[in-house]
Amino acid sequence: EVQLVESGGGLVQPGGSLRLSCAASGFTFSSYSMNWVRQAPGKGLEWVSYISSSSGTIYYADSVKGRFTISRDNAKNSLYLQMNSLRAEDTAVYYCASRLTMDVWGQGTTVTVSS
């Protein structure tokens, strides 16, 4: 069964850092590109970042560029999102989703940025 499980969310103060993880199973992770997508409370879905299967191509939304870093470890079947200089507006449920077309999603992990 294809499965994505996010972890690492929590409460952090403005200006702080957090590292999200996404553990993949049930498919050949190293062959798949991956995305991070978020949903702020009461808001719609927002694409955050994309990484190709080999990490050779990476994109970010303007709202997180320069603050967030996407990475992956194909040997560990894991995707990461390093989030620095966090702001209140980064408060959201963060999902990882597989492939360019986002065919499979994890259950999400909640990030709350508040003092």
Partner 1 sequence: DAVMTQSPLSLPVTLGQPASISCRSSQSLVYSDGNTYLNWFQKRPGQSPRRLIYKVSNRDSGVPDRFSGSGSGTDFTLKISRVEAEDVGVYYCMQGTHWPHTFGQGTKLEIK
Residue number, 73 or 103, with CB nearest to partner 1: 103
CA atoms within 13 A on the CB side of 81: 33
Query: According to the binding rule CB under 8 A, does residue 89 interact with partner 1?
Result: no
Query: According to the binding rule CB under 8 A, does residue 110 interact with partner 1?
Result: no
- List Cβ neighbours of 109 (8 Å cut-off, separation of 6 or more): 6, 7, 8, 9, 20, 93, 94
Contacting partner 1 (CB under 8 A), which of 47, 53, 71, 74? 47
Q: In angstroms, what is the minimal distance from the CB of 75 to partner 1?
A: 26
* Contact set for partner 1, span 57-76 (CB under 8 A): 59, 61-62
Contacting partner 1 (CB under 8 A), which of 95, 109, 111, 113? 95
Q: In angstroms, what is the minimal distance from the CB of 59 to partner 1?
A: 5
Residue number, 3 or 17, with CB nearest to partner 1: 3
What's at 92, amino acid-wise?
A
Give all strands (DSSP E) within the chain, no chain letters.
3-7, 10-12, 18-25, 34-39, 45-51, 58-60, 68-73, 78-83, 92-98, 109-113
- Interface residues with partner 1 (CB under 8 A)? 35, 37, 44-47, 50, 59, 61-62, 95, 97, 100-108
